[in-house]
């Protein structure tokens, strides 16, 4: 948990599409993030499910059209319009989009939306033909112009058994989209290069030398920079990228991170070297192999006798880029060292690779979610005990804001 949704008031509008069944899980996850969730059902949604399901999951009253004209002395749609930090509509039907695009306030959910100035994220879900219908597309255009954030549906198998665009995105993706909303866009217009994961150095065509780097630190850095509005270039040494990132291009001009899959240190070096000149910040969070076999055997080596490998040094990515950087570029590196040598080696490495900032962490960090970290600049020493890699990423970019403001004189 990253606390981005903690104590946030989320008004969740649910409309009458089959994907509504997934929303129970969304409410559970929002609650797990300690958000305060209130639900309004559209008249269509009331045909699919009863309010008690959502109130028992949200721990709050769920509102329906029957509440709209109840003579309670409350003007409910105005009251509800003032409640949210963020409004989330999922799933949003074609019919709902049409009514909202024409400013209808004939139902509690619609009236609340028309009365609210809260940022509103809409996740349409429907059959592909309904999605592609010119009327739906026209409504989407209008709603975008009105300032609603419309997140396009995914492609895949739909409830109607056809395959195409129209699926509600995975719940994790919805959750991440609204989390990104609550991060200040402090890196808008900036380009950030991040290297992550291990590299592989081949002995023959199937065997290789590598290390245990999980890429987690680089992932959290890339995600945080992306949510802050940066154009992220992630040079990635793992085979898979097993993480969910929302596509913020649907709702803003922030480009989806460019992920370059590489295998060897040479490949990681070549891509990083190509991308680096355009970047404002480079963070070297990968664990590239420092050595590679001098000769790579063709095919698969046979197990006949013992083998001696001669290893040569690989390219030093951080040093080459760090010592050739422009004055306006910031480079940040990590030093993974034994605890008693942490500070000494980190300082040596910082100087040798010309880093502006180095983050020292003990050998036990590899593959773990949490660790101790020390951030060194030439003036600062910031010590963190047992924090998550996600928290470190958040802190580093917060710190970078004030660091840049202090100017290069303080580097
Ligand atoms: C079984 C069934 C499934 C439906 N699924 C969807 C859907 O996924 N997306 C959609 O836009 N409409 C869907 N509809 C149509 C909407 O339920 C219908 O347009 C309804 O009036 C929407 O009301 P609302 O916008 O007030 O929720 C479905 C209807 C039925 C009967």
CB 193 within 8 A of CB 286: no
Token pair, residue 76, equals 């409910």
Please give the number of the atom of ligand 1 that sits closest to the Cα of 16.
27
DSSP strand pairing (370-376 vs 231-236): unpaired
Instruction: Set out the domains of the chain in order of their start, with CATH numbers.
Output: 9-181 (3.40.50.1950), 191-410 (3.40.50.10300)
Pairwise CA distance, residues 43 & 408, whole Å: 59
Ligand 1 binding pocket includes 42 (Cβ within 6 Å): yes
pLDDT at 405: 67
Token reading at 88:
């989330």
For the record, the structure tokens of 141 come out as: 């255009």
- Whether 24 is a known active-site residue: answer no
Please give the chain's pLDDT, 411 residues, in tens: 788 999 999 999 999 999 999 999 999 999 999 999 999 999 999 999 999 999 999 999 999 999 999 999 999 999 999 999 999 999 999 999 999 999 999 999 999 999 999 999 999 999 999 999 999 999 999 999 999 999 999 998 877 778 889 999 999 999 999 999 999 999 999 999 999 999 999 999 999 999 989 999 999 999 999 999 999 999 999 999 999 999 999 999 999 999 999 999 999 999 999 999 999 999 999 999 999 999 999 999 998 899 999 999 999 999 999 999 999 999 999 998 888 888 899 999 999 999 999 999 888 777 778 888 999 998 889 999 999 999 999 999 999 977 776 654 444
Give the distance (Å) from ligand 1 centre to CA of residue 93: 6
What pLDDT, on the 0 to 100 scale, is given for residue 408? 46
Q: How far apart are CA 290 and CA 396, in angstroms?
A: 26
Q: 126 in ligand 1 pocket by Cβ < 6 Å?
A: yes
Cis-peptide, bond into residue 165, ω within 30° of zero: no
How many whole angstroms separate alpha carbon 375 and alpha carbon 265?
26
Q: What is the pLDDT of residue 407?
A: 59
Ligand 1 pocket test, candidate residues 95, 113, 135, 164, most atoms within 8 A of CB? 95
CA atoms within 13 A on the CB side of 203: 12
Q: What pLDDT, on a 0 to 100 scale, did the predictor assign at position 411? A: 47
CA dist., res. 10 & res. 59, Å (int): 13
- pTM for this entry: 0.93
Residue pair 14/23 in contact by the 8 Å Cβ criterion = yes
Query: Given this model, what pLDDT does residue 86 score?
Result: 98
CB of 125 shorter than 6 A to ligand 1: yes
């Amino acid at each position: 948990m990253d606390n981005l949704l903690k104590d946030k008031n989320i008004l969740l509008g649910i409309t009458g599409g089959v994907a509504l069944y997934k929303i129970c899980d969304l409410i559970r996850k929002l609650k797990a993030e300690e958000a305060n969730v209130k639900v309004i059902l559209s008249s269509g949604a009331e045909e699919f499910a009863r309010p008690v399901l959502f109130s028992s999951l949200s721990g709050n009253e769920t509102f329906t059209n029957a509440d709209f004209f109840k003579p309670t002395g409350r003007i409910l749609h105005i009251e509800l319009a003032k409640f949210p930090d963020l409004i989330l509509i999922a799933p949003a039907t074609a019919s709902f989009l049409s009514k909202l695009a024409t400013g209808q306030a004939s139902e509690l959910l619609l009236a609340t939306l028309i009365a609210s100035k809260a940022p509103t994220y809409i996740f349409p879900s429907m059959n592909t033909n309904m999605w592609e219908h010119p009327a739906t597309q026209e409504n989407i255009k209008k709603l975008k112009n009105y300032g609603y954030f419309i997140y396009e549906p995914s492609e895949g198998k739909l409830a109607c058994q056809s395959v195409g665009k129209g699926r509600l995105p995975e719940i994790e993706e919805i959750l991440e989209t609204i989390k990104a909303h609550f991060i200040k866009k402090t890196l808008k217009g900036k380009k950030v290069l991040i290297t992550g994961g291990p590299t592989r150095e081949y002995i023959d065509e199937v065997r290789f030398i590598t290390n245990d780097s999980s890429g987690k630190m680089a992932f959290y850095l890339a995600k945080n920079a992306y949510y802050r509005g940066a154009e992220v270039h992630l040079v990635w040494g793992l085979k898979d990228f097993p993480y969910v990132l929302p596509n913020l291009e649907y709702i803003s001009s922030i480009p989806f991170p460019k992920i370059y899959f590489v295998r060897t240190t040479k490949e990681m070096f070549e891509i990083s070297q190509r991308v680096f000149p355009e970047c404002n910040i480079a963070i070297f969070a990968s664990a590239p192999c420092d050595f590679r076999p001098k000769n790579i055997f063709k095919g698969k080596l046979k197990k006949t006798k013992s083998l001696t490998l001669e290893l040569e040094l690989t390219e030093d990515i951080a040093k080459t880029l760090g010592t050739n950087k422009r004055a306006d570029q910031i480079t940040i590196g990590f030093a993974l060292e034994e605890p008693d040598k942490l500070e000494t080696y980190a300082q040596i490495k910082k100087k040798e690779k010309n880093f502006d900032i180095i983050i020292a962490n003990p050998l036990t960090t590899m593959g773990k979610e949490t660790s101790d970290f020390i951030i060194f600049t030439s003036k600062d020493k910031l010590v963190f005990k047992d924090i998550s890699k996600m928290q470190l990423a958040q802190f580093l970019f917060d710190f970078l804001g004030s660091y840049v403001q202090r100017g290069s004189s303080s580097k």
